[in-house]
Structure 1
Amino acid sequence: MTIRDVAQAAGVHVSTASRALTASHLVKKETRERVLAAAARLGYRPNESARALTTGRTRNLGLIVSDIANPFFPPLIKAAQAHARVRGYQVFVADTDEDVRVEEELIQTLARQVDGVVLVSPRLADDVIARLGGDLPFVLVNRQITGLSAVLMDVAHGAVRAVEHLAGLGHTRLALVCGPRGSWTSAQMRRAAGQAAADAGVRLDVLGPNAPTEQGGIAATAEVLRTGATGVIGYNDLVAIGLIEGLDEHGVRVPDDLSVIGVDDTVAGRLNRPRLTTVAMPTAPAGRTAVDLLLQTLESGEPDHATAQTTLATSLVVRDSTAPPDQSRG
């Protein structure tokens, strides 16, 4: 079956049938429904290769993450892929392994194969991302750059809630284990946690940069202990789990001797023992929203969409890794 067969069955011109299937907002609702019904009845499937040659569009999207092994990313990837598929797009996923050189190479490579790219927690400098975004529609997740649309998770609010939670339990000396250099999330946490600590009248030692991994948490353990903190906030759940492991090796019990909070609310944190108190991040909604913003730009062609920004709420989930401080310590 061809588009001509669909047009004949629906009683419309070939160009109208084509618009109904590829740019439905340009066709009256009744006409669109008639064309879609004819296409379904005839079993018509568009030839995407031919369409790409005609329209210059591949109907493919790129999604680049900094570490696909981090349990934070899979829910976002799955949500983005499923949401794009419903809209008739496929998603190519790529992993930079926290390497800015790889990140830039992947963007340049995908630019030849996709219509737009979602960059999740990119590490490249702002000017590099802005330059690359000049040739290809971008949507950023957890990064703000003027002129590019973004989906932000309100990690600042989460950091404030984490500090307030620990201060409310009676902790007066806290530590924040930051993530990698160039991380927008780490910068937001540092600023918000610092202000919250000052407001609560507690001391906050900021440590880092650190690798955003379990090993990064283990490596930061000795420095955390040197601060004398009784409560610590990790950059993410993996870092927090690494801290718990490292503290155990030093004979420090969580939460009896030291309370630990993570960020992300991943499966790993829920399965850990003690179960991890954490800031829940809206990863699946972020994936869907990023696809929506990207497709708005692609399908409307309006430059105003390039500056769209959405902030998604976060929340503190209290489990077993936090408790009042041991008054016998120190």
Structure 2
Amino acid sequence: MDRVTAQDVARRAGVAASTVSRALNQPGRINEQTRERILAAARELGYGAPARRSERRGLVALLVPDVTNPFYFDIIRSTQEQLRTAGYMQLLIDTGESGRTEAEVLAQLEGVVDGAILSATRLDSDALRDAATRLPLAVINRRHEHIPSVLIDIRVGLIQAIEHLRALGHRRIAFVSGPPESWQNRWRWKEFEEQVTGQGLEPVLVGPYPPNLTGGAAAADALLVTGATACLTFNDLLAIGILQRLRRKGVSVPDDLSVVGCDDIFGSAFCDPPLTTIAGDVQQAGRIAATRLLGVLNHTVTEGLATSLVPTHLLVRESTGPAAR
């Protein structure tokens, strides 16, 4: 028996699939007459009824952009543990930092898995909404009003980082940008720019670069001609690549340039010098995302789809110091 989707309900009720999502998860955002028509269509088609055991596949996919990035290790572990406890097996897929690959994989997963968790998705909002009408989804490090989402909220950690650099005398601070397709990257730059200018300092945008060690090496060369005395990077891999490249060029960190990363991945404390970085509870983000997806799969979700926020803080290590004079 084919699984009834939100699109089927939308066609029966004569509305958009996104309207079906709001009617079922955010009833306060839709008029009562339309909602009743959607609920009637859902009942007629059997949408929302718990799947019979024989219809469940017991599989949930986890999609990550780069499985070699240590940031995803804790997400892989925490989602897997949460899903296993609920009787599901996790299928891990590396999408290679490609939104196109991600979309193709999601299409291939229809009818194969019960749902999917997307960590740092490269899909835009419309593509995500479309995918969610065909397969239950949850997303990590992304906001979306129609899909269960978890965001590691860098804002507190970012404020602490900018205040830390300002206290050290830095006035021109660069943001080393990651992949342009990343919603998270664009959001981090926006928050960075607001915080830096809000404290009377000068922001500089460098990049975009691939969010890996090679990208960091290229970013290091660009940083040296910006006049910035400090930088904050999209992620720790970029920061570590910068540290390695600057060391080879004979540029001292933090004497000549202070470097702040983001994510506190395994290894960031063992760099030379150890990396100052913005840290959040990545395992908690994975557990929340898995729990919220399970709520959708088990039809036990009763609250709206507001994004769950995981707070962050600054870890000060040896890669930051007084501005060069």
Q: Report the TM-score, using the length of structure 1 for normalisation.
A: 0.80
Determine whether 1:314 maps to 2:312: yes
Q: CA deviation at 1:160?
A: 2.5
> Which residue of structure 2 aligns with residue 63 of structure 1?
62
> Which residue of structure 1 aligns with residue 133 of structure 2?
134
Query: In the aligned structure 2, how far is the partner of 1:210 from the partner of 1:158?
Result: 22
Query: In the aligned structure 1, how far is the partner of 2:280 from the partner of 2:300?
Result: 31
Query: In the aligned structure 2, how far is the partner of 1:305 from the partner of 1:208?
Result: 39
Question: Residue 319 of structure 2 aligns to a residue in which SS?
Answer: coil
Per-residue CA deviations over 1:202-233 (Å, capped at 9, x if unaligned) read 11101122110011111111221111111111
> Which residue of structure 2 aligns with residue 43 of structure 1?
none
Query: In the aligned structure 1, how far is the partner of 2:122 from the partner of 2:174?
Result: 24
> Which residue of structure 2 aligns with residue 195 of structure 1?
194
Q: Contact conserved, 1:149 with 1:305, CA < 8 A, in 2?
A: no
Query: In the aligned structure 2, how far is the partner of 1:277 from the partner of 1:54?
Result: 49
> Which residue of structure 2 aligns with residue 80 of structure 1?
79
Gap runs ≥5 in structure 2: 1-50
Per-residue CA deviations over 1:83-130 (Å, capped at 9, x if unaligned) read 111111111110001112211121112222211110000112221111
Question: Residue 227 of structure 1 aligns to a residue in which SS?
Answer: coil
Q: Contact conserved, 2:144 with 2:307, CA < 8 A, in 1?
A: no
> AA paired with 2:290?
V
Determine whether 1:255 maps to 2:247: no
Per-residue CA deviations over 1:27-86 (Å, capped at 9, x if unaligned) read xxxxxxxxxxxxxxxxxxxxxxxxx87542112111100000001001110011011111
Q: CA deviation at 1:157?
A: 2.9
> Which residue of structure 2 aligns with residue 297 of structure 1?
296
Question: Residue 150 of structure 2 aligns to a residue in which SS?
Answer: strand
**Bigger proportion of residues as helix:** 1
> Which residue of structure 2 aligns with residue 36 of structure 1?
none
Gap runs ≥5 in structure 1: 1-51
Identify the range of structure 1 (137-146 vs 314-323) with the bigger mean alpha-carbon deviation. 137-146
Query: In the aligned structure 1, how far is the partner of 2:280 from the partner of 2:187?
Result: 14
Q: Report the TM-score, using the length of structure 2 for normalisation.
A: 0.81
> AA paired with 1:314?
T
Q: Contact conserved, 1:293 with 1:308, CA < 8 A, in 2?
A: no
Q: Contact conserved, 1:263 with 1:281, CA < 8 A, in 2?
A: no
Q: Contact conserved, 1:142 with 1:152, CA < 8 A, in 2?
A: yes
> AA paired with 2:320?
T
Per-residue CA deviations over 1:229-287 (Å, capped at 9, x if unaligned) read 11111111100011111222332100111110000101121111100000013211111
Q: CA deviation at 1:158?
A: 2.5
Query: In the aligned structure 2, how far is the partner of 1:138 from the partner of 1:109?
Result: 14
> Which residue of structure 2 aligns with residue 124 of structure 1?
123
> Which residue of structure 1 aligns with residue 227 of structure 2?
228
Q: Contact conserved, 2:180 with 2:208, CA < 8 A, in 1?
A: yes
Percent identity over the alignment is: 37
> Which residue of structure 2 aligns with residue 159 of structure 1?
158
Query: In the aligned structure 1, how far is the partner of 2:279 from the partner of 2:204?
Result: 23
> Which residue of structure 1 aligns with residue 323 of structure 2?
325
Query: In the aligned structure 1, how far is the partner of 2:191 from the partner of 2:52?
Result: 49
Query: In the aligned structure 2, how far is the partner of 1:165 from the partner of 1:292?
Result: 36
> Which residue of structure 2 aligns with residue 144 of structure 1?
143
Q: Contact conserved, 2:145 with 2:307, CA < 8 A, in 1?
A: no
Q: Contact conserved, 1:234 with 1:261, CA < 8 A, in 2?
A: yes
Task: Summarize the Cα distance change of 1:214–1:239 in structure 2 as closer, same or farther, 3 Å threshold.
Answer: same
Q: Contact conserved, 2:64 with 2:93, CA < 8 A, in 1?
A: yes
Q: Contact conserved, 2:63 with 2:116, CA < 8 A, in 1?
A: yes
> Which residue of structure 2 aligns with residue 115 of structure 1?
114
Higher relative contact order (CA 8 A, sep 6+): 2
Whichever of the two has the greater Rg, that structure is 1
Alignment of 1:275-286 (within 5 A): 275-286=274-285
Q: CA deviation at 1:178?
A: 1.0
> AA paired with 1:237?
D
> AA paired with 1:188?
W
Q: For this pair of structures, how many residues does the alignment match? A: 276
